[in-house]
């Protein structure tokens, strides 16, 4: 089974800050990681490859430093990696990003001389948080999609996906090729070894820009190709309105808490 995993490099922080002038994320000085949900998607992909054979190829659209994220994927079982990076891609919203990724997937198929049976994404990126890119890739490629996967079982050219839902899980089947987005799994992705890290470091990561993706329509890329217009961004101010109750017996403190809750009309 040939599998493409889309991974995004995200800031390693819970406190995303927005530049008040440019309205873009402040990335300077913030260490980066592979989006955690994407590490689960990659682990699912590598496990399927180990069982069924084939290849796992990771792709990421981003700036040159996203190569580091791709290298870390190569160290934990991916066979090849491509960085999708070009001047015309900057300023893309989710629709343009997913369009570029879907065209890049076709270009990577050409370069690798294969067809992908499965395209895996994380359920959402922890910085942008929209959860739109995976389903949009499926639409651009006109493929069936299953979101929120906990497990994928292949059987006779089909997959059965255990899909997380509020009441527990659904089992959904689809023919291949398909797009599947993956949630946090009940097990952790594997760790790299020193040997696998060294091997990954030596691997070349080709960069595909607009010139390397002949089918791409540049009118659908970048800021011009993005129907989303950001009117205003701001960082919410955290109000420190907590009350500390100290120096009194527990019963009295409990009474005070109840009074405060009633006064604040929470109950």
Q: How far is the CB of 204 from ligand FAD (least distance, A)?
A: 19
Kindly tell me which residue out of 109, 111, 128, 220 binds ligand FAD, with binding defined by CB under 6 A.
Answer: 128
69 is a contact residue toward ligand FAD (CB under 6 A): no
Rounded to whole angstroms, how far apart are CA atoms 173 and 168?
Answer: 17
Is it true that the peptide bond before 177 is cis, omega within 30 degrees of 0? Answer: yes
SS3 229: coil
Question: Environment class of residue 218 by beta-carbon count within 10 Å: exposed (0-12), middle (13-18) or buried (19+)?
Answer: middle
Phi and psi based region of residue 29 (left: phi greater than 0; alpha: psi -120 to 50; beta: remaining):
left
Block residue for tokens 């893309």: 92
226 or 254, CB closer to ligand FAD? 226
Q: Give the span between the Cα atoms of 141 and 83, in whole angstroms.
A: 20
Q: How many CB atoms lie within 10 A of CB 50?
A: 11
For ligand FAD, the binding residue among 101, 143, 208, 221 (CB under 6 A) is 101
Determine, following the binding rule CB under 6 A, whether residue 40 of this chain makes contact with ligand FAD.
Answer: no
Footprint on residues 136-175 left by ligand FAD (CB under 6 A): none
Residues 202-261 that bind ligand FAD (CB under 6 A): 226, 228, 230
When the beta carbons of 40 and 198 are compared against ligand FAD, the nearer one is 40
The one-character DSSP state at 12 is S
| 45 lies in the binding site for ligand FAD (CB under 6 A) | no
Q: What are the residues whose beta carbons fall under 8 Å from the beta carbon of 157, sequence distance 6 or more? A: 175, 176
Distance of closest approach, residue 248 Cβ to ligand FAD, in angstroms: 47
* Identified binder of ligand FAD from the candidate list 20, 64, 91, 206, rule CB under 6 A: 91
> Which chain residues interact with ligand FAD by CB under 6 A?
6-8, 35, 37-38, 60-62, 90-94, 97, 101, 121-122, 124-125, 127-134, 226, 228, 230
């Amino acid at each position: 089974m040939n599998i493409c995993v889309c991974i995004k490099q995200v800031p390693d922080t819970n406190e995303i800050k927005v530049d008040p002038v440019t309205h873009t994320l402040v990335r300077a000085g913030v260490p980066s990681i592979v989006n955690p949900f994407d590490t689960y998607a990659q682990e699912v992909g590598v496990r399927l490859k180990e069982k069924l054979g084939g290849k796992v190829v990771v792709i990421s659209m981003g700036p040159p430093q996203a190569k580091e994220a791709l290298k870390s994927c190569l160290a934990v079982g991916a066979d090849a990696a491509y960085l999708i990076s070009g001047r015309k891609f900057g300023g893309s919203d989710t629709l343009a990003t997913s369009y570029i990724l879907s065209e890049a997937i076709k270009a990577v198929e050409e370069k690798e001389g294969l067809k992908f049976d499965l395209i895996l994404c994380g359920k959402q990126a922890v910085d942008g948080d929209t959860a739109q890119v995976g389903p949009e890739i499926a639409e651009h490629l006109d493929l069936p999609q299953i979101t929120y996967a906990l497990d994928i079982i292949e059987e006779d050219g089909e997959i059965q996906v255990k899909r997380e839902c509020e009441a527990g899980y659904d089992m959904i089947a689809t023919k291949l090729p398909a797009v599947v987005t993956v949630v946090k799994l009940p097990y952790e992705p594997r760790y790299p070894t020193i040997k696998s890290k060294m091997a990954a470091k030596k691997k070349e990561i080709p960069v595909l820009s607009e010139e390397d993706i002949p089918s791409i329509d540049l009118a659908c890329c970048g800021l011009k190709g993005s129907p989303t217009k950001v009117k205003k961004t701001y960082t919410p101010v955290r109000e420190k309105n907590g009350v500390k109750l100290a120096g009194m017996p527990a019963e009295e403190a409990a009474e005070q808490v109840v009074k405060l809750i009633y006064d604040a009309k929470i109950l």
